[in-house]
């Protein structure tokens, strides 16, 4: 199964277009973090994440 990461918000998705911000996605990404609750997650705040889900740490 291929997994893409959004170039804009880094959200992981199987789609070619991000369902969150409609940005383009790429398979060139490294590592990921799962955000369960963006309200209380320091990582989510640092990365500007507002929706729960899985996000790539680095997207090229």
Distance CA 48, CA 16 (A): 21
Residue from 1, 12, 17, 20 in contact with Zn ion (CB under 5 A): 20
Residue-by-residue DSSP string for 37-58: -TTT-HHHHHHT--S-EEEEEE
CB of 32 to Zn ion, least distance (A): 14
52 is a site residue for Zn ion (CB under 5 A): no
Structure tokens at 58: 């680095």
Total interface residues for Zn ion by CB under 5 A: 8
Task: Kindly list the residues in this chain that would bind Zn ion in the complex (CB under 5 A).
Answer: 6, 8-9, 11, 18, 20-21, 23
């Amino acid at each position: 199964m291929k997994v893409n990461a959004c170039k804009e918000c880094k959200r992981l998705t199987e789609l070619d277009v991000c369902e969150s911000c409609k940005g383009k996605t790429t398979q060139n990404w490294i590592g990921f973090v799962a955000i369960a609750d963006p309200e209380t997650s320091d990582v989510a705040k640092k990365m500007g994440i507002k929706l729960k889900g899985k996000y790539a740490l680095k997207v090229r």
